[in-house]
C-alpha cells in the first residue's frame, strides 16, 4: 500500500486562482475549410440558394456549440464578393458582427463574431455617428 497526499492533488493556491480569473479569456478561432466554398468563386443565381444554405448551416452549427462570446468564424478567402455580402446578411440575421479582412481580390476573407467582442469599438463608433449627426442638425 502506498501513501498519497490528497491535500495538494488538484488544488491550486489562492494566488494562482486570482491570477487565472484576472486573465482575459482567449478568443477561439473557428476556421471554415476552403474546400467547402471552393466552388463559390462566383455566386450566381443557380448556386446562390446552396451558398446561403451552407452559410446558415455553418453559422447555426457554430452557435449551437458555443458557451461563451470568445470565438469567431473565419470564412475562407475563395468566396467572391457576392458571397461575402450574403455572409454579412447571415451575420446580421443572427445578431452577429461581420466584416471582411485582407486586400481586395483573392486574399479577402469574412470574419463573423458576437458584437460583445467590439464593445469599445462600437461605443466610439456610436459617439462618432452622434457627432456627425449633430453637424447636420445645426
Mean pLDDT, the chain cut into blocks of 10 residues (138 residues total): 51 67 77 90 91 96 91 91 93 91 80 82 78 83
CA pair distance 51, 37, nearest whole angstrom: 8
Determine the pLDDT at residue 91.
Answer: 94
Whether the model clears a pTM of 0.75, i.e. scores above it, the answer is no
Determine the pLDDT at residue 120.
Answer: 67
Determine the pLDDT at residue 117.
Answer: 77
CA pair distance 3, 84, nearest whole angstrom: 62
Determine the pLDDT at residue 7.
Answer: 53
Residue 86 main-chain phi, psi, to 5 deg: -65, -40
Determine the pLDDT at residue 59.
Answer: 95
C-alpha cell at 33: 475549410
Determine the pLDDT at residue 125.
Answer: 74
| Ranges of each domain in the chain | 27-132
Determine the pLDDT at residue 10.
Answer: 62
First to last CA, the chain: 86
Determine the pLDDT at residue 106.
Answer: 67
Determine the pLDDT at residue 135.
Answer: 85
CA pair distance 29, 70, nearest whole angstrom: 9
3-class secondary-structure state, position 101: strand
> Are 100 and 110 within 8 A, CB to CB?
yes
Indicate the CATH number for domain 27-132.
3.30.1370.50
Alpha helices in 1-138 (DSSP H): 14-22, 34-37, 48-65, 81-93, 119-137
Amino acid at each position: 500500500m502506498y501513501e498519497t497526499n490528497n491535500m495538494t492533488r488538484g488544488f491550486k493556491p489562492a494566488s494562482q486562482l486570482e491570477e487565472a480569473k484576472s486573465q482575459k479569456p482567449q478568443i477561439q478561432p473557428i476556421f471554415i475549410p476552403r474546400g467547402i466554398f471552393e466552388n463559390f468563386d462566383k455566386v450566381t443565381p443557380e448556386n446562390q440558394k446552396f451558398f446561403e444554405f451552407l452559410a446558415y448551416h455553418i453559422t447555426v452549427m457554430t452557435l449551437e456549440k458555443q458557451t461563451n462570446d470568445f470565438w469567431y468564424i473565419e470564412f475562407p478567402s475563395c468566396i467572391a464578393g457576392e458571397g461575402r455580402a450574403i455572409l454579412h446578411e447571415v451575420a446580421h440575421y443572427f445578431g452577429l458582427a461581420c466584416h471582411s479582412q485582407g486586400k481586395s481580390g483573392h486574399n479577402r476573407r469574412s470574419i463573423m463574431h458576437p458584437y460583445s467582442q467590439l464593445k469599445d469599438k462600437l461605443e466610439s463608433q456610436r459617439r462618432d455617428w452622434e457627432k456627425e449627426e449633430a453637424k447636420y442638425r445645426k
